[in-house]
Amino acid sequence: MKNESIDFSILMASSVHDMKNSLGMIVQTIDTLTQRQSGNTEEERLLSILHYESLRVNNDLIRLLGIYRMEENSLPLCVDEHFLLSLLEEQLTKISHLLPPQNTTIHIECDEQLSWHFDYDLISSVINNILVNTVRYTKDRIMLSARVENNQLLISVEDNGTGFPIEMTVSQETQAKSIDFNTGSTGLGLYFAAKIANLHQYKGASGSIHVENGGSLGGGIFNLSIP
């Protein structure tokens, strides 16, 4: 029988897909256990940590699979008109159980009539990933906003934490593809966000991301622009 070599990228993509599905079941089980808690603060805290870390791993697997599909030109882009307030409120609901119970507030600034054309699932995954990380680094305040600026949709996520490392704000393209062994950061989240943004193109303009520090909350700011 002739030996046939295995395409490692296909094998990896298949494995990631299976792991993502299994981890998704774990996250759902944690959600169920959390809902059954009745005032046991310590157990709720431990379940919250378990849920947060499981969600982070699940998001990483989703991004890896998405990047593979983009490289293979097999990631469908389904652009349609969507209302931004609904998008932001849905993402807030998804991460609300990750918030510490004490004094953590999230504010949304968005005109309820604001709508734009984009791929809802892909943009949702980007915002969700940023929010999950923001929960980790904020002190106690997060703001989601959406508005039209320079003829593009601008979605921003701000917090009052310590902000992004200065090198990330200066050279984001390099940072998004780098690995920091001191912090464990692979830059995968920003790389995925940049790729998703770039898929959205209109009349010669492409979507983009930008991170900075400051703003009204004084911490980190993630900006996603869609033409």
Q: What pLDDT sits at residue 24?
A: 75
- pLDDT band, residue 12 (cuts 50/70/90): low
Q: Number of structural domains, the chain?
A: 2
Share of the chain above pLDDT 70, in %: 76
Residues 44 and 128 in one domain: no
Q: Is residue 3 part of a domain?
A: no
- pLDDT band, residue 38 (cuts 50/70/90): low
> Which one has a higher pLDDT value, 178 or 197?
197
Residues 60 and 168 in one domain: no
Is the model's pLDDT at 196 over the cut of 80? yes
Phi and psi based region of residue 171 (left: phi greater than 0; alpha: psi -120 to 50; beta: remaining) = beta
CB 209 within 8 A of CB 178: no
Average model confidence (pLDDT) for the chain?
Answer: 80
Is the model's pLDDT at 168 over the cut of 90? no
- pLDDT band, residue 117 (cuts 50/70/90): very high
Q: Is residue 90 part of a domain?
A: yes
Q: Is residue 1 part of a domain?
A: no
Residues 67 and 83 in one domain: no
> Which one has a higher pLDDT value, 55 or 147?
147
What's the CA gap between 52 and 105, in Å, rounded? Answer: 18
Is the model's pLDDT at 17 over the cut of 90? no
Quote the pTM value.
0.75
Mean pLDDT, residues 138-164: 93
SS3 111: coil
Q: What pLDDT sits at residue 179?
A: 44
Q: Is residue 84 part of a domain?
A: yes
Q: What pLDDT sits at residue 119?
A: 92
Q: Is residue 86 part of a domain?
A: yes
Q: Which residue, 71, 88, 117, sits at the end of a domain?
A: 71
Residues 65 and 162 in one domain: no
Task: Provide the CATH number for the domain around residue 209.
Answer: 3.30.565.10
CB 160 within 8 A of CB 217: yes
Q: Is residue 28 part of a domain?
A: yes
- pLDDT band, residue 104 (cuts 50/70/90): confident
Angle formed at CA 162 by CA 159 and CA 165, multiple of 5 degrees: 110
In tens, the pLDDT along 176-195 reads 554 454 444 556 778 888 88
Round the CA-based radius of gyration of the chain to a whole number and report it: 19
Mean pLDDT, residues 87-112: 83
Mean pLDDT, residues 195-203: 91
CB 119 within 8 A of CB 224: no
* Distance, CA of 141 to chain centre: 18
